[in-house]
């Protein structure tokens, strides 16, 4: 297999489909919502959290089985989070045919992208992938990094962003000095 190409997607306002109504579907729907995606969930049965997301209007909830024509609504990204292997296969095949990004939970062979384990500190996000070989290892490494990354890293991210903006205005064109000053600030901040 070729090397994976790591990216972070801008999903704000984009349409996302989650097929399934259980625990993993709920997790993925919430992640997509936090990313600003307009989420539709299709499942004949759903857990209480999915129901609540539907009732509060945070997702569009369609209580039925997935149909291949569902992808004609032109979703940008699709997550198949169901235990039904026939539905998983149908979702991936139709998404692949239409050129839509698709992840089938726990089935790396029928995905065109993998969901990484994520350490999240506001604008600072660290994604960990094993290219689908060992989600358990990625999860353990996420736990390790989650403990190692300071809780104030989100605040530090904001402050460094402001510092960069200020330096660009004060010493425009001098990228080396800007980088050096930002690097020195980060070193001092992390030693506290």
Same domain, 161 and 78: no
Which of the listed residues 93, 115, 137 is the one where a domain comes to its end?
115
pLDDT recorded at residue 91: 95
> Is the residue at 43 inside a domain?
yes
Cα–Cα distances (Å) from 137 to 132, 155, 159, in that order, read: 10, 29, 32
Same domain, 158 and 102: no
The predicted model scores a pTM of 0.82
What the block records as the tokens of 161 is 């962003």
Same domain, 25 and 93: yes
Same domain, 183 and 104: no
Domain count, the chain: 2
pLDDT recorded at residue 135: 85
> Is the residue at 4 inside a domain?
no
Please choose, from the candidates 27, 7, 37, the residue with its C-alpha nearest in 3D space to the C-alpha of residue 129: 7
> Is the residue at 78 inside a domain?
yes
Per-residue pLDDT of the chain (192 residues; tens, 9 = 90+): 678 888 899 999 999 999 999 999 999 999 999 999 999 999 999 999 999 999 999 999 999 999 989 998 789 999 999 999 999 999 999 999 999 999 998 888 888 888 888 998 988 999 998 888 888 899 999 999 999 998 888 899 999 999 999 999 999 888 899 899 999 998 888 886
pLDDT recorded at residue 70: 92
Write the CATH number for 66.
Answer: 3.40.50.720
> Domain range for residue 45?
15-115
Same domain, 28 and 107: yes
Please choose, from the candidates 87, 80, 16, 85, the residue with its C-alpha nearest in 3D space to the C-alpha of residue 53: 16
Which of the listed residues 95, 115, 135 is the one where a domain comes to its end?
115
Same domain, 165 and 83: no
> Is the residue at 134 inside a domain?
no
pLDDT recorded at residue 2: 75
pLDDT recorded at residue 21: 96
């Amino acid at each position: 297999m070729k090397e994976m190409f790591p990216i972070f997607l801008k999903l704000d306002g984009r349409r996302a489909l989650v097929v399934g109504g259980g625990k993993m579907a709920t997790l993925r729907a919430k992640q997509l919502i936090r990313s600003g995606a307009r989420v539709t969930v299709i499942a004949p049965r759903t857990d209480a959290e999915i129901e609540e997301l539907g009732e509060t209007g945070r997702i569009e909830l369609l209580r039925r089985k997935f149909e291949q024509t569902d992808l004609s609504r032109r979703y940008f990204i699709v997550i198949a989070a169901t235990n039904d292997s026939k539905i998983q296969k149908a979702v991936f095949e139709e998404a692949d045919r239409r050129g839509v990004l698709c992840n089938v939970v726990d089935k790396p062979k029928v995905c065109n992208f993998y969901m990484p384990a994520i350490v999240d500190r506001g604008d600072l996000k660290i994604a960990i992938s094993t290219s689908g070989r060992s989600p358990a290892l990625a999860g353990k490494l996420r736990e390790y990094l989650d403990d190692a990354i300071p809780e104030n890293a989100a605040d530090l991210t904001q402050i460094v962003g402001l510092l960069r903006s200020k330096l660009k205005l004060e010493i425009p064109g001098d990228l080396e000095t800007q980088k050096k000053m930002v690097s020195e600030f980060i070193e001092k901040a992390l030693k506290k």
